[in-house]
Structure 1
Amino acid sequence: MSSRRMLLGMQFGNGYGAQVTSWRAPNVDPKNYTDIDAVVRYAQAAERGKIQFLFLPDTPALSSDLTHEAPQMTLDPLLTLAAVARGTSRIGMVATGSTTFIEPYNLARQFKALDVMSHGRAGWNPATTSDPNAAANFGQTIAERPERYGRAHEVIQIVQALWGSWEEDAWIADPTTGIFADPAKVRPVNLGGQYVSSRGPLPIPPSEQGQPVLFSAGGGEYGLTLAGRYASGVIGSTFSIDDARAQRDAAREAAGAAGRDPDEVKFFAGLMPAIAPTVRDAVERRMLLGTNTFPQRVPYLGQMLGLRLDPRQIDEPLTAEQLAAARPSPYDPRAPRAFEVANQGWTLREILGHGVIDYHPTPVGPASVTADHMQEWFEAGAVDGFWVSIDTYEDGIDTFVDEVVPLLQERGLFHEDYEGKTLRDHLGAAPQYGLDPRVSGVGVAH
């Protein structure tokens, strides 16, 4: 049996779960949005399952329909993870930080501070924010993609240079000699480009892993170039093994083109499991969460199936005539799954309860269904691991940890315990301190 083991990250957001209506789920305190103790408790549950890292998506804007939905993002990713760092000891913590609206010095200081506070467990997902609502919060408009990604390259390189502005042995802290640090080894970076610049240095020495690990969650040619040059982890969105394998291969090829070892980049496919003792129970769980949202999704389900569907039919299955006319949309990768479920005789509400419109695949039923999905994709060489989005944190994380993780461990697919102490250890990421000399100089000048 291969010694290769899958890696697992977990989506971490608003104190409720990945479903927008999880704030209404049974046994959930609806005020958890501002309860940091609950968030820390959920992180501890994930750590109990030996999950390698938490991943916090973020955008600097409020874009939810607050009538029925809680905001999906945490109050503030770095402040949240600072609290999590104090309540955990091993799990990695990756936060999104905008390269478009945050200056590189601020990003460098905040993420390296988190890295030091957590003893080397921090990671950064540089995001080229494209939300006009976010731009408006900074009195700006969204720039064209080439400009946003050009700025991103400059920001990342300056941030990494700032992280290395203390040499690794610069901090002496010797009370006998009275020497705190060697000033000759704490130097400005003096980097600047077309969009951003910084003098430095930071007031922060290295962490146990040196500096935070970089992730990428952007798609397209521009995002792939960013991932290939800088990322150790890539979060993907894909609904088939073939597409996942293609995305993983593309990330590895981009790393090789940037002069890096392709094995330095780990690809994580998204997963949104619906776990319960039976398929019926799992569907019922999702339907309860979808009480207010499913009716408005019926027309979109119709588009996926090439039909004009009326929300008034939500508690009925497709008619024989509708089934005969249905065709999965070639423009939506989720459509084949929706078509498959529709042909099993479920009602429209139950079809939606199968998660067919979720933004990642949704295995439905006992824990073994989720474990089988993960095993199939992993053994097919389509992924290095998964980014798991739990529907409701309050009971869902424990269910995944207590039911899915042991199955993966029994099958030899997932580790039994943390082998190292840092995020870089968990991922098997290459050592790095400061700017990677193999990819330096893209749009940045001294």
Structure 2
Amino acid sequence: MSTTPNPGHMLLGMQFGNGFGAQPHAWRAPGVSPDALTDVDAQVRHAQTAERGLFDFLFLPDFLHLQQDLDHEPPTITLEPLLTLAAVARATERIGLVTTASTSYNDAYTLARQFKTLDVMSRGRAGWNAVPSSGEATAANYGRPALGRTEKYERLHEMVQVMQGLWGSWEEDAFIGDQAAGCYADAAKVQPIGMQGRHVGSHGPLPIPPSAQGQPVIFQAGGGGNGLQVAGRYANGVIGAVFSIEDARAQRAALRQAAADAGRDPDEIKFFAGVMPALGDTVRDAVDRRLALGKDVLPQRVGYLGMMLGLSLGPEHLDRPLSPDQLAVTRPHPGDPRSERALAVARDGWTVREVLAHGVIDYHPTPVGPAEVTADHMQEWFEAGAADGFWVSIDVYENGIDEFVDQVVPELQRRGLYKTEYAGSTLRENLGVPHQYGLDPRLG
């Protein structure tokens, strides 16, 4: 079976967070159990639905300290991601299992062992989002001082290299398994790596054979010059945060150039733009759904919306549209790429509350309305070369994943933009990225 998807087919990942969904008050939506935060069976069920929709991977972000106001909303992340994905691995067959794991506060040998175990357990579906951690609160949870920026990225490079060295320390043809002769493996092909950097090292070897895809796929979800360098050297998947086609095309081009500069084929790196669909039979239905989910959150965002539009807005403006006088003087903020869309929605006559319910200050673009609206957005970006695919943030998992799979996926397939079956059984096959085992020999 070919390891390269049809070039005309976009790739899809799904944000897989705290058991409720991407919207802050998803835990209060009808039909959602407040216990979903720790319900692994629910996590498995959601993963199976995403696999039914042929998603290429689940993506679990991770946060190493408590961020939420627990009086009103659950933590963004609670359960340990690798253990969560181990449970999901046993109940799925094709979907990739990608999670963040900090390079700042983990040991290389332990993390290499955990990820390769997941990769073997899942028969070649594991991926690692290799990013550093920031902030005093996270450092305090590990009883350490926070790392400076330079040290963080030095340590990240060493972590990736040592872990890949360990992943390759059991060579691909070391296993023999000759029971009659009593020969299990060629010990000469299971060797220490003896790698030691300034921050990270390991003697090795790691006594785990290769998985069906060899070793986990590296992802990156940082940004800036350091993140670009990391992605260019190591990553096959990059999780982006962009709000315009122009910005997305520029970021994808920069990533491809960084890969080329590192001696890699630019096609080895896949850029995923975020999208947060607001689905409904009509735009009005979709807005009403978001209004219900954000009733306690939207008033807090009025001041920020005003800043985006160059206006002084307060809670008293929530339930009326911008006046002609306000529209005459409003200007999109040049430093916020979401401002142009916020202004366009406001000019359509929606109230300030409804403008906010359009997701104009969410973390990713929010197409609002029937499935065709989300498909139009994805098609436009994909055909413009702004992304190789998308990572989709579902508002409420309990019903939103089914809605996306049953409505948006068939529409993308009808347009010839999305596959009708998985390309293979491993994450590498489904992403269309090359085999790698151990360190990349092209990198010095």
TM-score scaled to structure 2, two decimals?
0.97
Moved more, 2-11 or 385-394: 2-11
Matched residue, 1:210: 214
Q: Distance in 1 between matches of 2:82 and 2:195?
A: 25
Shift of 1:258: 0.3
Q: Distance in 1 between matches of 2:374 and 2:136?
A: 37
Is contact 1:68-1:292 (8 Å) kept? no
**Paired AA for residue 11 in structure 2:** L
Matched residue, 2:83: 79
Q: Distance in 1 between matches of 2:349 and 2:96?
A: 43
* Within-5 A mapping of 1:242-321: 242-321=246-325
Moved more, 312-321 or 74-83: 312-321
Shift of 1:180: 2.2
Matched residue, 1:189: 193
Q: Secondary structure at the match of 1:8?
A: strand
Q: Distance in 2 between matches of 1:404 and 1:122?
A: 26
Matched residue, 2:149: 145
Equivalent in 404, 412, 415 of residue 419 of structure 2: 415
Q: Secondary structure at the match of 1:31?
A: helix
Write out per-residue CA displacement over residues 40-89 of structure 1, whole angstroms, 9 at most, x where no aligned residue.
Answer: 00000000000100111112111112122221225111001000001100
Equivalent in 430, 438, 441 of residue 437 of structure 1: 441
Q: How many residues align?
A: 439
Q: Distance in 2 between matches of 1:147 and 1:336?
A: 38
RMSD, matched Cα: 1.0
**Paired AA for residue 158 in structure 1:** V
Percent of pairs with identical residues: 64
Mind listing any 5+ residue stretches in structure 2 that lack a counterpart?
1-5
Equivalent in 399, 407, 413 of residue 403 of structure 1: 407
Q: Distance in 1 between matches of 2:62 and 2:397?
A: 18
Is the alpha carbon distance of 1:201 and 1:259 closer, same or farther for their aligned partners in structure 2, counting shifts above 3 Å?
same
Shift of 1:3: 4.5
Matched residue, 2:100: 96
Shift of 1:151: 0.7
Q: Secondary structure at the match of 1:340?
A: helix
Q: Distance in 1 between matches of 2:304 and 2:71?
A: 20
Q: Secondary structure at the match of 1:87?
A: coil
Matched residue, 1:238: 242
Matched residue, 1:160: 164
Write out per-residue CA displacement over residues 92-126 of structure 1, whole angstroms, 9 at most, x where no aligned residue.
Answer: 01010100010111110000000000000000001
1:333 matches 2:333 = no
Shift of 1:333: 0.9
Q: Distance in 1 between matches of 2:266 and 2:425?
A: 24
Q: Distance in 2 between matches of 1:214 and 1:107?
A: 13
Q: Secondary structure at the match of 1:277?
A: coil
Is contact 1:167-1:185 (8 Å) kept? yes
Q: Secondary structure at the match of 2:391?
A: strand
**Paired AA for residue 428 in structure 2:** R
Q: Distance in 1 between matches of 2:27 and 2:260?
A: 43
Mind listing any 5+ residue stretches in structure 1 that lack a counterpart?
441-446
Shift of 1:172: 2.2
Shift of 1:226: 0.1
Shift of 1:307: 1.0
Q: Distance in 2 between matches of 1:315 and 1:420?
A: 51
Aligned structure 1 segments of 4 or more residues deviating by more than 3 angstroms: none
Q: Distance in 1 between matches of 2:268 and 2:309?
A: 40
Q: Secondary structure at the match of 1:114?
A: helix
**Paired AA for residue 294 in structure 1:** L
Write out per-residue CA displacement over residues 230-279 of structure 1, whole angstroms, 9 at most, x where no aligned residue.
Answer: 00011111111111000000000000000000010011100001011000
Write out per-residue CA displacement over residues 13-55 of structure 1, whole angstroms, 9 at most, x where no aligned residue.
Answer: 1101011210001111111001000000000000000010011
Matched residue, 2:13: 9
Matched residue, 2:386: 382
Q: Secondary structure at the match of 1:404?
A: helix
Moved more, 241-250 or 124-133: 124-133
Is contact 1:120-1:207 (8 Å) kept? yes
Q: Distance in 2 between matches of 1:4 and 1:302?
A: 41
